[in-house]
Structure 1
């Protein structure tokens, strides 16, 4: 039913996309942003503020721009393939301006509580209390979309590191880190081998006396640059590869992946070789600076000046940086056990399964295991959310809820591309959709929110990927592989064939 009111909490990437999808579905979104600006995680600030995501100055996206673009608004083609946070913010501001989203955002508005309305069982409505300039205001919304992100509440497991409280050096969470300059000349250990842990270790290795990287678990390291110097995302994350993965034996796929990864980066030499042969998870990173980083096992305990590792070795340290991730943090929901369970399990990574009405959604909070398409997944979830509000869909029973993610939401929302139809009417587009990178534009070819520019964006996406790489144009007098070259190849093959026949007959 058009005109239903939706509260969007947070004006980061997910929140802005949520506003846009609500407008497409005929809903009336009001976005509450506690700070004075858009951007969420990607907006760099010098100071760390409690309850707000924080990034370091050099943060660069580890996902290809074409894979993380809004599905109806491509990045400018001259932007680098992997973007510094300032470039991401530039793109976000362009998106907001283009679609006139700012008028739907209320800044300096802190959401204090979200509770079920008195007649929730029949209406699915929510009571939302917001604090503005020290005063609280109450609203009633037909739905709530939580878009606060995952990086607001640092996880600092000090109880797992005996003696850390008596350590006389500095210890901190990676969320407090901004630049390497304040650590110049010091001996530092980074705890955790996630993307942030490796990022910080590499950056610090250029200015400090020594960097250690402590890891309890091991991991497979994937380079961002794949064969022929192309971004990994464009080569691996295609619909064709998805089909191959379904029918090809898993152990052969894993063997290929392990051999490929060890060819680029020998995990055994660096002490990172997992005991299992299954490639279930990965870190996408350029680990070229590992020569300046010493990999260490898990820390057993701390003394006043030392870290003593589980293998018995010890190191003198000045600083400990815990790159140990974040925990879910939704203070406005209180202790309402009917909203989230202890595992924060969610249907389609979006809806709390306990809800009798699908009017509360978490956008961009949980992500399925595997190659990351966080913003694409969020957008598909928003399609589902909008359709639920319009009464075109109901949640299935609990027994059906925990199913594979992939293209399911897109199929239910009617936005998954019809490959057979594309093959018949536009073979060129089919080829790019099936064999090319699975970019978000594919979900704008048909169905709700169909975008006229989707076809053009898909057909030109490879040019957009190559353009920032081709900063030096080579001028040749003739093609690299001329007609003469191929003529020589054919003649050589014929000569080899004739000689083979002569040898056989002789």
Structure 2
């Protein structure tokens, strides 16, 4: 299956969850691919470390079940809990690297200093050196035909500018530097933000900090990890996705309203206290179709018990331990807190995506739309010009990014499919059955997508990575050659598959929406995984047995 791909040298920057699957899919298609990682290990942020880098906490629990969070051809072990701690996910990524023999293809402890394009030779020149060495004396430059930057979006912290912060006598830090709640024992801590990281950080401080405040300017949808004893995402099936897609295409306004209604009902059922305590200001929440919900089981009970106190956003610092909060009503004096020892900003990341490593003329965010930046909903983050949130418009045949696309789906699955698509588009005969449209068409597509996301930024915060879920999945399905929509759709091939494989069709469309679905069908493009059907059947059988067992226990 290698064809001419073995003569194409590809550099993959980053060996976290995105870089690993990208490297694996390129090697699978015969590319001469090499990974580069600043750390001494694979897995990126999923390995806890006290080093000055983004990582999970030991207490972090995955927001997505293992059945849906896995890669397309590598399930989690049976003994892994469905909703598992971060250490299990780290173990999974280590096993993935070993299973596909990726470590020998990765240069660890390697710092990338600069990347530029050699136009004369059509190569990417990467300046690098061993971590900890003097770059001026130990830098080497390697040339590659193609480049994929997979450092992700959680690298460079976004710190808001707060008036008077120089007056503060306590400790100010970003959540990236928050490593152990015990470090703040006996302190009064204000956590700034209302996303999942803010919720997890505040909850982790309970029992350690003297006081825990949660400061936020907007509301949020607070959703549980479990519903009726099962992981919330187990209710998602391919059939339900197909119905959502149809509604999105035919009546997008109605689809968004139905999705918001569903989320609201789920929140009200799981956490009725949110409605009973308007002083928490968790509603109204920003539109759920343009932001992600906060996933936590512990935050609302902690608010009810008073272990966490909800307060307005931080307006400014007015003394060594004094914080002035946003006024809750017009012409009303703002509240102040005079006992703050620590401020933890859970305010996300700049969304650099490794673009700053590139020379300016190759940086796809260099000409960020000024209309976007002027809107509060942009939060000052760059909006890169990337086709399908992957391909550079300056060098579409040789420069791509992993981490610049986002919609409500597991990241491991999304970037498995995305990197399969890149491998097919960049491959040469006999695999060059996928291609990019003309540059003019790609620019029109990006312009239209940017207008769409700018419109969202007028009404509230929005992630610059946000893209249309179903449109993107249809494109990726065709580009990667997964044949999912062909075999499970309503066309001739879909009917043939249904009539010839009714039991399997029902399982694939009505069972848990498994990532293995994208490796089950034969294709003249990407590699099929022979174990996909067995893995899907095993997963659904195990879940059914667990559900029946819980039902019997309830009855007794």
Q: TM-score range by the shorter chain?
A: 0.7 to 0.9
The equivalent of 1:309 in structure 2 is 325
Distance 1:453 1:399 in 2: 40
Kindly state the Cα deviation for residue 325 of structure 1 after the two structures are TM-superposed: 0.7
Please list, as runs of the form range in 1=range in 2, the aligned pairs for 1:312-351 lying within 5 A after superposition.
312-315=334-337, 316-329=339-352, 330=354, 331-337=356-362, 339-341=364-366, 342=368, 343-351=383-391
Does the residue aligned with 2:360 lie in a helix, a strand or coil? Answer: coil
The equivalent of 1:295 in structure 2 is 310
Q: Does 1:385 find its partner at 2:422? A: yes
Distance 1:176 1:278 in 2: 29
Distance 1:174 1:97 in 2: 31
Q: Does 1:361 find its partner at 2:372? A: no
CA 1:474–1:42: 2 relative to 1, 3 Å: same
Q: Does 1:439 find its partner at 2:439? A: no
Does the residue aligned with 1:189 lie in a helix, a strand or coil? Answer: strand
Deviations for 1:285-308, whole angstroms, at most 9, x for unmatched residues? Answer: 213333221111112221222222
Deviations for 1:149-178, whole angstroms, at most 9, x for unmatched residues? Answer: 222211111x2x212220111111111111
Does the residue aligned with 1:30 lie in a helix, a strand or coil? Answer: strand
Distance 1:345 1:298 in 2: 32
Contact 1:299 1:309 in 2 (8 A): yes
CA 1:58–1:424: 2 relative to 1, 3 Å: same
Distance 1:64 1:98 in 2: 22
Distance 2:61 2:553 in 1: 32
Distance 1:41 1:470 in 2: 36
Q: Does 1:283 find its partner at 2:287? A: no
Does the residue aligned with 1:172 lie in a helix, a strand or coil? Answer: strand
The equivalent of 2:174 in structure 1 is 173
Kindly state the Cα deviation for residue 470 of structure 1 after the two structures are TM-superposed: 9.3
Distance 1:271 1:189 in 2: 16
Kindly state the Cα deviation for residue 338 of structure 1 after the two structures are TM-superposed: 5.2
Greater shift in the superposed pair: 298-307 or 244-253? 244-253
Kindly state the Cα deviation for residue 211 of structure 1 after the two structures are TM-superposed: 0.9
With normalisation by structure 1, the TM-score equals 0.85
CA 1:317–1:471: 2 relative to 1, 3 Å: farther
CA 1:278–1:378: 2 relative to 1, 3 Å: closer
Contact 1:70 1:375 in 2 (8 A): yes
Kindly state the Cα deviation for residue 367 of structure 1 after the two structures are TM-superposed: 3.0
Gaps of 5+ in 2: 328-333, 369-382, 450-467, 489-493
Does the residue aligned with 2:226 lie in a helix, a strand or coil? Answer: coil
CA 1:149–1:276: 2 relative to 1, 3 Å: closer
Kindly state the Cα deviation for residue 345 of structure 1 after the two structures are TM-superposed: 3.1
Distance 1:327 1:422 in 2: 45
Contact 1:20 1:101 in 2 (8 A): yes
Distance 1:348 1:87 in 2: 31
Across the two proteins, how many residue pairs are aligned to each other? 465
Distance 2:164 2:63 in 1: 35
CA 1:473–1:278: 2 relative to 1, 3 Å: closer
Contact 1:173 1:323 in 2 (8 A): yes
CA 1:79–1:422: 2 relative to 1, 3 Å: farther
Does the residue aligned with 1:72 lie in a helix, a strand or coil? Answer: coil
Distance 1:57 1:83 in 2: 11
Deviations for 1:79-113, whole angstroms, at most 9, x for unmatched residues? Answer: 01222222112111211211111111111222222
The equivalent of 2:58 in structure 1 is 57
Kindly state the Cα deviation for residue 212 of structure 1 after the two structures are TM-superposed: 0.8
Gaps of 5+ in 1: 482-506
Distance 1:390 1:186 in 2: 56
The equivalent of 1:83 in structure 2 is 84
Kindly state the Cα deviation for residue 472 of structure 1 after the two structures are TM-superposed: 8.7
The equivalent of 2:538 in structure 1 is 460
Q: Does 1:231 find its partner at 2:231? A: yes
CA 1:30–1:256: 2 relative to 1, 3 Å: closer
Kindly state the Cα deviation for residue 53 of structure 1 after the two structures are TM-superposed: 2.6
The equivalent of 1:42 in structure 2 is 46
Distance 1:385 1:277 in 2: 32
CA 1:187–1:475: 2 relative to 1, 3 Å: closer
The equivalent of 1:264 in structure 2 is 270
Kindly state the Cα deviation for residue 407 of structure 1 after the two structures are TM-superposed: 3.1
The equivalent of 1:12 in structure 2 is 16
Deviations for 1:268-322, whole angstroms, at most 9, x for unmatched residues? Answer: 3232111667654322221333322111111222122222212222222111100
Kindly state the Cα deviation for residue 222 of structure 1 after the two structures are TM-superposed: 0.9
Please list, as runs of the form range in 1=range in 2, the aligned pairs for 1:357-436 lying within 5 A after superposition.
357-363=396-402, 365-369=403-407, 371-391=408-428, 392=432, 393-396=434-437, 397=441, 398-401=443-446, 402=449, 404-417=471-484, 418-419=487-488, 420=494, 421-436=496-511
Distance 1:327 1:114 in 2: 20
With normalisation by structure 2, the TM-score equals 0.78
Distance 1:442 1:386 in 2: 19
Q: Does 1:156 find its partner at 2:159? A: yes
Distance 1:42 1:252 in 2: 34
Contact 2:425 2:479 in 1 (8 A): no
CA 1:22–1:264: 2 relative to 1, 3 Å: same
